[in-house]
Amino acid sequence: MRTGRVAVFAPSPQLTVTVEVLDDAPDIHIHAGGQGVWVSRMIESLGVDVVLCAALGGETGQVLRHLVDVRLKARDVTARNGAYVHDRRDGVRDPLVVMPADPLSRHELDDLYEMTLVEGLNAGVAVLSGPAEGDEPVPDSVYERLAKDLGGNGCQVVVDLSGGRLAAALEGGPTVVKVSHEELVSDGLAESDSLPDLVAACERMAGSGARAVVVSRAAEATLAMVDGGFALVSAPKMSTVDTRGGGDSMTAGLAAALAQGKSLEDAVKLGAAAGAVNVMRHGLGSGSGDVVRELVGRVRLERWEGDR
């Protein structure tokens, strides 16, 4: 089913400040960030209309409103958005300051939920993304409700979550689940990062009704469960500038392909290509759609029939 648009739920985007070096002098970059922002940016790069559904509040929220570079549907709130300052002058991210997001009030949450539901149903494809690590702007139960209410009314739901948020979203029955092997192990969903254990975890998650489960495995081939079958997905190797955001770009590729009416197998290939491109760049979710489309034909998908 072709929808042509994706709604991304990002309850509390972050204000990001990164210090780098340009011509032997400090070079400061200020951007809107957070998983939902990075996913939305890549979806738009892939030629798909996207709307970011978020709550904005405090001084950080005021600045973010001017920095978000995709179509934004925002609920003004009193809760402050989070922010961080990273020093990357030596090539490695060193967190200097991290300010967590404030939790939304009951009325703020209700309004954000309704707004996201309307946008998701109008779009036909929705991505449920999480806040930054340590932030708790909304309760985990919101993800179960959104997955259930969106999916139950014809919207294809893609989730990229971990911990309690992932467990809640699975109860709602998403269409596609994207998760990393580290998250599966740390959340206790897989006994180890061996393929048989990851396969068993995928099968358990598919019990929620998910048609596809995609497990990124760092430098190893991605494991994908599509309509009950398993495959290892290998993307071209690229020189790495920053590994952060590769998984978010993969999620963006999955959602964009669904909106374009592609099969789940082709969606997995587009996601793998988008993730490969992201690591070449400093900006998260900033890869070129042209490069991603060029790499799709070089993604290898091999059926996996190993022991379980």
Query: pLDDT class for 305, splitting at 50, 70, 90?
Result: confident
Tokens of 1: 């089913």
Q: Are strands 212-217 and 220-226 parallel, antiparallel or unpaired?
A: antiparallel
Residues 6 or more apart whose CB falls under 8 angstroms from that of 168 comprise 140, 141, 142, 143, 144
pTM of the model: 0.90
Please say if the pLDDT value at position 308 is more than 50.
no
What is the C-alpha separation between 260 and 4, in angstroms, rounded?
6
- Axis-axis angle for helices 289-296, 264-278 (nearest 10): 120
Residue 84, SS3 per DSSP:
strand
Please say if the pLDDT value at position 93 is more than 50.
yes
Q: Which residues pair with 157 in a beta bridge?
A: 126
284/121: higher pLDDT: 121
Tokens of 145: 């409700």
What is the C-alpha separation between 87 and 101, in angstroms, rounded?
21
Query: pLDDT class for 37, splitting at 50, 70, 90?
Result: very high
Tell me: the pLDDT tens digits for 249-259?
899 999 999 99
Q: What is the mean pLDDT of residues 186-206?
A: 93
What is the C-alpha separation between 237 and 223, in angstroms, rounded?
16
Burial of residue 272 (number of CB atoms within 10 Å: 0-12, 13-18, 19+): buried
Please say if the pLDDT value at position 280 is more than 60.
no
Tell me: the pLDDT tens digits for 39-86?
999 999 999 999 999 999 999 999 999 999 999 999 999 999 999 999
Contact by Cβ (8 Å): 293, 266? no
Tell me: the pLDDT tens digits for 111-132?
999 999 999 999 999 999 998 8
Query: pLDDT class for 98, splitting at 50, 70, 90?
Result: very high
